[in-house]
Amino acid sequence: MIRLAPLALLVFAADPAPRLPRENLLLYRAADGTAAEVKTVADWEKRRAEVVRGMESVMGKFPGADRRGPLDLRIESETDAGSYVRRLVTYSSTPGGRVPAWLLVPKTALDGKKKAPAVLALHPTDNTIGHDVVVGLGGKANRAYAAELAERGYVVLAPSYPLLAKYQPDLKALGFESGTMKAVWDNSRGLDLLESLPYVEGKKFAAIGHSLGGHNSVYAAVFDPRLVAVVSSCGLDSYSDYYRGDPKNWEPERGWCQTRYMRKLADYKGRLADIPFDFHEMVGALAPRHVLIVAPTRDSNFRADSVDRIAAAARPVFRLYGHPDRLRVEHPECEHDFPTDMREAAYKLFDSVLKP
């Protein structure tokens, strides 16, 4: 006689629902688990929520409001930089964790006559001087966008990126699963700081970054809607296209899989198509905000043609909101750089969005 196990003891392993296509953002997962066509903003918000869940499955959870304790701003040093004051500051991002940052304040704002708009300036990879590069204190040319924005009348906060140069927080002790999410949270708390300053105008901000700062800007803006304009220079292509999918870049502590980024991405080696989020979706998640992506034709880090595919996938979401023109891609004829004309285009965008 064949004895059947009680029904309650039978366990069937359900296959996880397949990832929705990164190239078609006008699909969302309906209540029954099937793919349905996005027809309204409310439909898109369901797809967006799934994208965010995918990001958090790799990056770790975006902290809740209970982690927004006192900022305890401290000014460590101050330098007269001509039209603005450059302050080295630290602020409390999480209990027990302080973030070093440059805070650039135009003198016209300090004198109390007129409030100024504010920008996050996120630095590229530099394991020697870190955030110093964006305020013009060394490093490569075409990277001092924080200083240039301050000269144009913006209050600028340029925080350090975790696990680079002198900023070496203990991610695990502070409750973070990735350097990426730690940076996102530091950036969000940086916006809290800017909001608290009496000389800063309003509660809408912009973010700008090159390379590491380019994708850091996108990640931060997905989680913080106060960033209404985002400029990413040489900061992204599809994960599947990264260095043409070379498997060696998906080993632990290589490429995107470094602890300072997202160590869990190494789990997707050999199946990059299964990564539950990509820049197609993250750029789409920024709609209907203003986005400028600078993708040089000869960038050896990130492929310009991949950026075009990302923008093509994301633009229908901007169109859904009635603002397809707010997603813009530029292809300067250069290598991994942020040339003058592209920085000027970024500053003009910020002027149009943040200045009355």
What are the start-end ranges of the H helices in 107-151?
107-110, 145-151
Phi, psi (5° rounding) for residue 26? -90, 35
CATH 3.40.50.1820 positions along the chain are 65-354
Q: CA-to-CA distance for 96 and 70, rounded, in angstroms?
A: 11
38 CB burial (10 A radius; 0-12, 13-18, 19+) = buried
Closest Cα to residue 46, out of 62, 34, 31, 28? 28
pLDDT the model gives residue 201: 94
Q: How far is CA 283 from the centre of its chain?
A: 10
Give the pLDDT confidence of 112-132 residue by residue, as tens digits.
888 999 999 999 999 999 999
Stated pTM of the model: 0.94
Phi, psi (5° rounding) for residue 28? -135, 165
Give the pLDDT confidence of 271-290 residue by residue, as tens digits.
999 999 999 999 999 999 99
Which residues face 155 on adjacent strands?
A: 118
65-354: which CATH topology? Rossmann fold (3.40.50)
Structure tokens at 74: 């401290």
Residue 5 is given by DSSP the state P
Percent of the chain that is helix, strand, coil (3-state, to 5): 40, 20, 40
Low-confidence ranges of the chain (pLDDT < 70): 1-16
Return the number of other C-beta atoms located less than 10 Å from residue 331's C-beta.
17
Maximum separation of any 2 CA atoms in the chain, in Å: 92
pLDDT the model gives residue 245: 84
Q: CA-to-CA distance for 231 and 333, rounded, in angstroms?
A: 18
Do residues 68 and 80 lie in contact, with contact meaning Cβ atoms separated by under 8 Å? no
Please report, as a single letter, which amino acid is at residue 337: D
pLDDT the model gives residue 111: 87
pLDDT the model gives residue 3: 39
Q: Which pairs from 188-192 meet CB under 8 Å and 24+ separation? A: 188/220, 188/223, 188/224, 189/68, 189/71, 189/91, 189/92, 189/93, 189/94, 189/99, 190/91, 190/99, 190/101, 190/120, 190/157, 190/159, 191/120, 191/224, 191/226, 191/227, 192/68, 192/71
Which residues face 14 on adjacent strands?
A: none
Do residues 209 and 122 lie in contact, with contact meaning Cβ atoms separated by under 8 Å? yes
Q: CA-to-CA distance for 41 and 317, rounded, in angstroms?
A: 9
pLDDT the model gives residue 16: 61
Residue 341 is given by DSSP the state H
